[in-house]
Every structure is written in structure tokens, then in C-alpha cells.
Amino acid sequence: MTAFVALLRAVNVGGRKLVMTDLKRIAEEAGFERARTFIASGNLIFASDRGERDVAGKLEDRLRDHMSADVPVFVRTRGEMEKVAAANPFSDEAGSTVAAIFLNASPPADLIENARGVADERMALGTREIYVHYPSGMAATKLRFASQIVGTARNMNTVAKLAELAKEVE
């Protein structure tokens, strides 16, 4: 069994409500074991013997049925979450001011130079993540990436906690 973390994009914002007990039930009905959620922003931790793409697809299908809308899901193993936390290039900054934006593929090499609305943010590319330090806070940012970039952000405090919770599930 592999411990996974599933990060749902854009739930419980802008009117897209998903109760975390429903998310846990959806995971259990999909056959995932030891499912649990963390905070109400769409974080699911579970164990499965299936592969990453399979678990992401199963969750997306079931969420589409439940919410009548597409909900992109970004899946990482426990080890990958630990690596994301360890690779934080802004580790000297408060974890609440640094986010990892999770993607399903490697970010384009020119992503940072083509970012729009950059004020005081600092950015770095990860394996399948974009790290952003928001000195003025995430709420105030006008930072935008190319429209084909679809991801979901978690601050580094949350990333570290999810990696810890995934270790307990494994």
C-alpha cells in the first residue's frame, strides 16, 4: 500500500462547496483505505495499491458525479510530499508566506519569465510544482501564470503537515 495525498483544486471557494466528510466517504467508496481529510480546503490522505493516475482519475470521476462539476485532483505520494517540503527554496521564510503550486506535469522552463502581475513575489520551479514566496501575503497578490497552467496551491505549513499525516497512513 502506498500513502497518497490528493489535493483538490478550488473547493470551498467561490461557492464550490464540498463537505470534508463527503470527501472521506467518496474516497472510501472508491476503495481507498485509511482515508482522512485535513482542513476544509480539499486535502485527502489515504492508502491504496493503485497507481497515482488511477487514484486521481477515480477521485475526479466521483467528484464530478457528486458536485456536478469538474474538480482537478493533484496526487502525490508521501515521499513526494516530503521532497516538496524539503526542496522549498524559500525555507528561510515563514511557511505561511510560501506556497507550492502543485501541477500534474513539469512547469514550463519559461514560466517565471512569462508570469504577469509580479510585485514582490519570488518564484522557483520544482519537479511538478512552482514555489512562490509572497512577502505581502497571498491574498494581495496579482501574480498570474499562463492560462494553460492548472494547479492548486498549499502553503508550506500545510505541505509539511500533509507529509506527516501521510506517514501515519502508510
**Residue 33: in which H helix or E strand, if any?**
strand 33-37
Residue 72 has pLDDT above 90, yes or no: yes
In this prediction, residue 163 carries a pLDDT of 97
For 119-157, write each residue's pLDDT tens digit. 999 999 999 999 999 999 988 899 999 878 899 999 999
CA-nearest of 136, 138, 107 to 124 is 107
Q: Tell me the domain boundaries of the chain.
A: 2-77, 80-166
Buried b (16+ CB within 10 A) or exposed e, 153-165: bbbbebbbbbbeb
For 26-63, write each residue's pLDDT tens digit. 999 999 999 999 998 899 999 999 999 999 999 999 99
In this prediction, residue 15 carries a pLDDT of 67
Interstrand relation of 33-37 and 43-48 (parallel, antiparallel or unpaired): antiparallel
Residue 17 has pLDDT above 90, yes or no: no
C-alpha cell at 107: 512547469
The HSE-up count of residue 30 (CA atoms within 13 Å, CB side) is 27
Which CATH code for domain 2-77? Answer: 3.30.70.1280
In this prediction, residue 10 carries a pLDDT of 81
Q: What is the pTM of this model?
A: 0.94
CB–CB of 86/126 below 8 Å? no
**3-state secondary structure at position 164:** helix
Phi first, then psi, for residue 112 (nearest 5°) are -65, -45
- The stretch 102-121 carries a mean pLDDT of 95
Residue 1 has pLDDT above 70, yes or no: yes
The HSE-up count of residue 64 (CA atoms within 13 Å, CB side) is 9
Give the chain's mean pLDDT.
Answer: 94
What span, in angstroms and rounded, lies between the C-alpha atoms of 137 and 72?
A: 25
